[in-house]
Amino acid sequence: MSQHNEKNPHQHQSPLHDSSEAKPGMDSLAPEDGSHRPATEPTPPGAQPTAPGSLKAPDTRNEKLNSLEDVRKGSENYALTTNQGVRIADDQNSLRAGNRGPTLLEDFILREKITHFDHERIPERIVHARGSAAHGYFQPYKSLSDITKADFLSDPNKITPVFVRFSTVQGGAGSADTVRDIRGFATKFYTEEGIFDLVGNNTPIFFIQDAHKFPDFVHAVKPEPHWAIPQGQSAHDTFWDYVSLQPETLHNVMWAMSDRGIPRSYRTMEGFGIHTFRLINAEGKATFVRFHWKPLAGKASLVWDEAQKLTGRDPDFHRRELWEAIEAGDFPEYELGFQLIPEEDEFKFDFDLLDPTKLIPEELVPVQRVGKMVLNRNPDNFFAETNRRLSILGILSPVWISPTIRCCRGVCSLIPIHKSVVLADPISMRFRLTARPALTIISSVTACIVWGSTLTRRITNRTRSTITGRAKHRRGRNVAVLNHTRNAWKAIKFASAVHRLANIIPIRVCSG
């Protein structure tokens, strides 16, 4: 048997890091003996146990994860209920006045179901609408208390839950994964000091350096307004017209047109915080930093012909690959890297460190790998956890980190306006910003999660098959029609009242 056949196809080599790597001027934060380096191969599949459906996370429990578990319930042993927790006997037949009579307005189950159906969708993101996500954890290699007083970076034994959302930028929620585009890489750290959102892309720079240009840039990138073409790509006149008028965009355009624009997988894609931030330690000393995510599986990209074929044959290629890898136990792993510059050295460079359209060369300031992130669980409900997840650049702990650049501050100043638009619909606010639950609700409208409800695992958008077993607590609601004579009389009285009201108040009827 050849050496190739003897090798486990589910395992892959990770890039090795030798001692020839340049050391930064502030001394390396990693152990000198290299004990923090990954093994020759990343975590082998199945090393961290995962039950079918990824409902059992590896043994990385902590107080934060335990508190999140309180709102994570299964739907197996619950009866179907209304939003108020009232058990439903039948959600397939309307309440009618007799076997052939009209539908009664007092059928509150029907009204609730239709109301949910009309409001279950939320406004789509203007950019980064197409996304995939996963849960995981982050653990630092050693204490970084000399440069920051962030609690989750000060203890190598502390495990911090994270949630990562990958995305494309230009296309809508139904566009293909393998188009040439910038990818989003947004990480949400659930620290004991609050939520820290590290919002980034798969390129180390951005197209513009002034937030005033952002709306115009997005309008240029999105499909042309007169015919809504092209979708999910930027090869059209308005984009190139904008690029020709804004020379600062050319740097990121070159990255987008390179192999970085069509990554092979989210597991082989780098992430960058783009902006320059300041880390603040307990003494109040500040250090400039740029964040990096380095995939332990290495970097890989598709060739253009492969990307075009996959767009037609499997538009969900990246989403499917990420999901199936986690289900198989081959967890994506990334190292968090810092480019650190002392605050007093800000003006020693011949370019502006605070300009997001310029990268800081790693030859001048090497990346120090300070911790590892592992994504080990898929979402329980894709719509509830991925589509409604809102990562905001302005969510930063005021104690230990702060943005420094004008573009970042400009975007942060637009956050209230952005939230007022994205969350203008009260239903949208319920999805994107959910309150702590007070009642377990198994809604018949399973595409959405009710405000204040628990996060239900493995719910479906269809009634259970009679082959695998009938749902409990089902009985016909038209038996005796629930005293239909009395109910019909109430409906007649209600219709009469509506008719009298219509004669008093003029009502404009709009035809479709």
Based on the fold, state whether residues 399 and 477 are members of the same structural domain.
no
| pLDDT the model gives residue 494 | 59
Decide if 433 is inside a domain. Answer: no
Cβ atoms of residues 248 and 212 within 8 Å: no
Q: What is the mean pLDDT of residues 144-162?
A: 92
Whether residue 96 has pLDDT greater than 60: yes
Categorize the per-residue pLDDT at 383 as very low, low, confident or very high, splitting at 50, 70 and 90: confident
Based on the fold, state whether residues 116 and 194 are members of the same structural domain.
no
Whether residue 388 has pLDDT greater than 80: no
Decide if 364 is inside a domain. Answer: yes
Decide if 101 is inside a domain. Answer: yes
Which candidate in 36, 116, 135, 201 is catalytic? 201
Query: Among 388, 381, 327, 370, which residue's Cα sits nearest to residue 52?
Result: 327
Give the pTM.
0.71
pLDDT digits (tens, 9 = 90+) for 406-445: 554 444 444 444 444 444 444 444 444 433 333 444 444 4
Which candidate in 128, 135, 275, 292 is catalytic? 128
Based on the fold, state whether residues 151 and 271 are members of the same structural domain.
yes
pLDDT digits (tens, 9 = 90+) for 51-70: 334 444 455 566 666 776 66
Asked about 376 being catalytic, the answer comes back as no
State how many domains the chain has.
2
Based on the fold, state whether residues 100 and 56 are members of the same structural domain.
no
| pLDDT the model gives residue 381 | 85
Give, as one character, the DSSP assignment of residue 223. Answer: P
- How far, CA to CA in Å, does 71 sit from each of 82, 308, 444? 18, 41, 19
Based on the fold, state whether residues 234 and 373 are members of the same structural domain.
yes
Q: What is the mean pLDDT of residues 260-288?
A: 93
Based on the fold, state whether residues 243 and 278 are members of the same structural domain.
yes
CATH for 304? 2.40.180.10
Bigger pLDDT: 352 vs 429: 352
Q: Which two tokens stand for residue 186?
A: 């947004």
Categorize the per-residue pLDDT at 510 as very low, low, confident or very high, splitting at 50, 70 and 90: very low
Q: How many residues does the chain have?
A: 512
Give CA–CA dist 490/12, Å, rounded. Answer: 70
Categorize the per-residue pLDDT at 349 as very low, low, confident or very high, splitting at 50, 70 and 90: very high
Asked about 4 being catalytic, the answer comes back as no
Bridge partners of 457, per DSSP, are: 74
Other Cβ atoms less than 10 A from the Cβ of 359: the count is 18
Q: Are strands 72-74 and 455-457 parallel, antiparallel or unpaired?
A: parallel
Whether residue 257 has pLDDT greater than 50: yes
Based on the fold, state whether residues 113 and 245 are members of the same structural domain.
no
Most confident residue range from 127-131, 193-197, 225-229: 127-131
Q: Residue 461: which domain range?
A: 72-120+441-504
Cβ-based neighbours of 59, under 8 Å, separated by 6 or more = 48
Based on the fold, state whether residues 141 and 289 are members of the same structural domain.
yes
Q: Which two tokens stand for residue 349?
A: 């460079």
Bigger pLDDT: 150 vs 437: 150
| pLDDT the model gives residue 121 | 78
Q: Which two tokens stand for residue 170?
A: 């230009």
